[in-house]
Amino acid sequence: MRPLWWLTLSKKIAISPYLWQMEFSGASLANFPLHREGDYIKLLLPRASSTSIFDVDPQAPDLSGLFKRSYTVCSFDPRENTLTVYVTRHKATAGPAASWANSVQPGDDVLITGPGPVDQVDPHASRFFMAGDLPSLGAVLANLRRLPKTAQGDLVFEAPEPLALIEQSCPQGIEVHWIKSETDRSSPLFVETVKQLPAPDEKTSLWVACEYSSMKRLREYFSGELGLTKQQFYLSSYYKFGATDEQHKQTRREEGYKD
């Protein structure tokens, strides 16, 4: 089992009507591994029928009664022992993670596990092609910060509105293509924009994280139409509209999708 981190929410900032920036802190982060920006952590939340998460015994934790929700490490400061993630804002009735995100306040305790590995862009590539949306924002930002200042390429990003966070992190040679997101499904323009841009070749670092239906269409494009091998790109679905995290993962397993 990956290590558990008992932390405190130290900052919660509304970046936009659609996004929280959350900073976790704690002395235990002195042992958090370095250079894991872009990898995922699991936030552990109590189910409605269970007791408080902090009745869990840290010496012999039983995590079977907890929800697990994945978030991306956007940044980690080992000097201050702080860990920053971005959390999409939803209606309070949307689910356990959304309800937690809306109600949690600085000073509240949190429990996470991880980090787990995620493939990242190759900073030594000749060209870069990235695509993502709000749930993948932390990973996109972490990857942008890995790029050399001379990087050339494209980033397709789906969001309700352009984000200054991305503009500020992009090397000058990365062109951002903004796609306005829809409320209950991924915009068809997301996939179509990816397909209309110059096709990636063997010298391109190709990295995409998006909604499940978009992932399926893009996998058909990359593998089928372009003939790329699985080793030539990273493509993952971070969520599925209308499904819980558990249902999304079950669908991925049943349909044979692996990153």
Domain boundaries, the chain: 4-116, 127-254
**204: helix, coil or strand?**
strand
pLDDT of residue 252: 86
pTM for this predicted structure: 0.90
Question: pLDDT 10s digit of each residue in the chain, 259 long?
Answer: 678 898 999 999 999 888 999 999 999 999 999 999 999 999 988 665 444 555 555 555 566 667 788 999 999 999 999 999 999 887 655 677 888 888 889 998 888 999 999 999 999 999 999 999 999 999 999 999 999 999 999 999 999 999 999 999 999 999 999 999 875 667 889 999 999 999 998 899 999 999 999 999 999 999 999 999 989 999 999 988 878 788 888 888 888 876 5
pLDDT of residue 48: 52
Given a contact cutoff of 8 angstroms between Cβ atoms, the answer to whether 26 and 76 are in contact is no
Residue 134's CB: how many other CB atoms inside 10 A?
22
Which tokens sit at 76? Answer: 């980690």
C-alpha–C-alpha distance, residues 187 and 68, integer Å: 27
Q: Where are the beta strands (DSSP E) in the chain?
A: 4-16, 19-25, 40-46, 66-72, 75-77, 82-88, 109-116, 127-133, 153-159, 174-180, 204-211, 233-239
Backbone angles phi, psi at 52, to 5 degrees: -55, 145
Name residue 80's amino acid: E
C-alpha–C-alpha distance, residues 194 and 130, integer Å: 9
Domain 127-254 has CATH 3.40.50.80: yes
The residues that bridge with 12 in the sheet, in sequence order, are 22
Alpha-carbon distances, residue 30 vs 45, 67, 115 (angstroms)? 23, 26, 14
Length of the chain: 259
Given a contact cutoff of 8 angstroms between Cβ atoms, the answer to whether 67 and 91 are in contact is no
pLDDT of residue 51: 42
Domain 4-116 has CATH 2.40.30.10: yes
